[in-house]
A and B are shown apart, each in its own frame.
Chain A
Amino acid sequence: MRKAGKQTWMYENYLYLNSTGTAVGPKEAEGPLADTFDISHDKLHCEEANWELAERRLMSESIDVCLSKANMSKDQIDLFLAGDLLNQNVTSNYVARSLSIPFLCMFGACSTSMETLAVGSALIDAGFANHVIAAVSSHNATAERQFRYPTEYGGQKPKTATSTVTGAGAALVSKVKSEIRIECATIGRVMDYGTKDPFDMGSAMAPAAYDTIKTHFEDTGRKPEDYDLIVTGDLSGVGSVILKDMLKEDGYTIDQLYNDCGLMVYNSDQQVFAGGSGCACSAVVTYGHLVQALKEGRYNKIFVVATGALMSPTMVQQKETIPTIAHGVVLMRSEGGGQ
Chain B
Amino acid sequence: MSEKFNQQQYDKTVKEYQPKPSLIGNCLRAFLVGGSICLLGQFLTGLYMDLFNMTEREAGNPTVTTLILLSALLTGFGVYDKIAQFAGAGSAVPVTGFANSITSAALEHKSEGLVLGVATNLFKLAGSVIVFGVVAAYIVGIIRYVFQAIM
CB distance from B28 to the nearest CB of A (A): 14
Min CB gap B97→A, angstroms: 6
Which residues of B sit under 8 angstroms from A75, Cβ to Cβ? none
B107 within 8 A of A: yes
Q: Is the CB of A152 within 8 A of B107?
A: yes
Q: Which of B1, B5, B21, B81 contacts A154 (CB 8 A)?
A: B81
Q: Is A88 an interface residue (CB 8 A)?
A: no
User: 5 nearest interchain CB pairs?
Assistant: A154-B84, A150-B108, A249-B2, A50-B111, A152-B104
Q: Name the prevailing secondary structure of the A interface residues.
A: loop
Contact with A along B52-86 (1 / 0, CB 8 A): 00000000000000000000000110101101110
Among the 9-residue stretches A29-37, A76-84, A192-200, A255-263, the one with 4 or more Cβ atoms under 8 Å from chain B is A192-200
Count of inter-chain pairs, beta carbons less than 8 A: 106
Partner of B1 from A51, A152, A250, A271 at Cβ < 8 Å: A250
Q: Mark A185-225, 1 if CB is under 8 A from B, else 0.
A: 00000000111000010010011001000000000000000
> Can you list 27 A-B contacts with CB-CB less than 8 angstroms, sorted by A residue number?
A49-B111, A150-B124, A151-B107, A151-B108, A152-B78, A153-B81, A153-B101, A154-B83, A154-B85, A154-B91, A155-B81, A156-B87, A156-B88, A156-B89, A157-B85, A159-B21, A160-B19, A193-B7, A193-B11, A194-B7, A194-B11, A207-B5, A237-B19, A238-B19, A242-B14, A242-B17, A245-B17
Q: How far is the CA of A154 from the CA of B91 in the complex (A)?
A: 8
CB-defined contacts of A246 to chain B, threshold 8 Å: 2, 5
Per-residue CB contact flags for chain B residues 106-141 toward chain A (1 = under 8 Å, else 0) read 011101000000000000110000000000000000
Chain A residue at minimum C-beta to C-beta distance from B121: A150
Interface membership of B100, Cβ < 8 A: yes
Tell whether B148 is near chain A: CB-to-CB under 8 Å: no
Contacting residues of chain A (118-154) with chain B, CB-CB under 8 angstroms: 145, 149-154
Q: Shortest CB–CB separation between residue B6 and chain A, in angstroms?
A: 9
> Distance (Å) between the CB of A155 and the closest chain B CB?
6
CB proximity to A under 8 Å, residues B1-60: 1-2, 4-5, 7-8, 10-11, 14, 17-19, 21, 26
Give min CB distance, B110 to chain A, whole Å. Answer: 8
A241 interfacial by beta-carbon distance below 8 Å: yes
Cβ contact within 8 Å between B17 and A203: yes
Known contacts A149-B125, A150-B104, A153-B104, A241 near B4 by CB under 8 Å = no
| B18 A153 Cβ-Cβ under 8 A | no
Q: Which chain A residues border B18 with CB–CB below 8 Å?
A: 159-160, 200, 203, 238
- Give the CA-CA distance A274 to B8 in the complex, in Å: 25
Please, how many residues of chain B have a CB less than 8 angstroms from a CB on the other chain?
Answer: 39
Contacts A203-B17, A242-B17, A249-B2; A150 near B107 (Cβ below 8 A): yes
Task: Give the interface SS of chain B, mostly helix, strand, loop or mixed.
Answer: helix
* Chain A residues in 8 Å Cβ range of B14: 195, 203, 206, 238, 242
Which residue of A is nearest B14, CB measured? A203
The listed residue (A49, A158, A195) touching B21 by CB distance below 8 A is A158
Q: Give A148-176 as 1s and 0s: 1 = Cβ < 8 Å from B's Cβ atoms.
A: 01111111111110000000000000000
Closest-CB distance, B25 to chain A (whole angstroms): 12
Residue of B nearest to A151 (CB): B108
A320 on the B face (CB < 8 A): no
A274 to B100, CA, bound (A): 25
Most buried by B among A149, A150, A206, A242: A150
Given pairs A153-B84, A193-B11, 20 additional interface contacts (CB within 8 A): A150-B124, A151-B107, A153-B81, A153-B100, A153-B125, A156-B85, A156-B87, A159-B19, A194-B7, A194-B10, A195-B10, A203-B18, A237-B19, A238-B17, A238-B18, A242-B14, A245-B5, A245-B17, A249-B1, A249-B2
With A and B bound together, what is the CA distance between A142 and B80 in angstroms? 19
Verify if B95 is at the interface (C-beta below 8 Å from A).
no
Residue of A nearest to B22 (CB): A159
| Complex contacts, B80 vs chain A, CB 8 Å | 152, 154
Within 8 Å CB of A152, what residues of B?
A: 75-76, 78, 80-81, 100, 103-104, 107-108
Q: Does any Cβ of B come within 8 Å of A52's Cβ?
A: yes
- A258 smallest CB distance to B (angstroms): 15
A147 shortest CB reach to chain B, Å: 13
CB < 8 Å: which of B2, B11, B104 contacts A250? B2
Name A211's closest neighbour in chain B (CB-CB). Answer: B1
Which residue of A is nearest B81, CB measured?
A: A154
Asked whether A249 lies within 8 Å of B4 as measured between CB atoms, the reply is yes
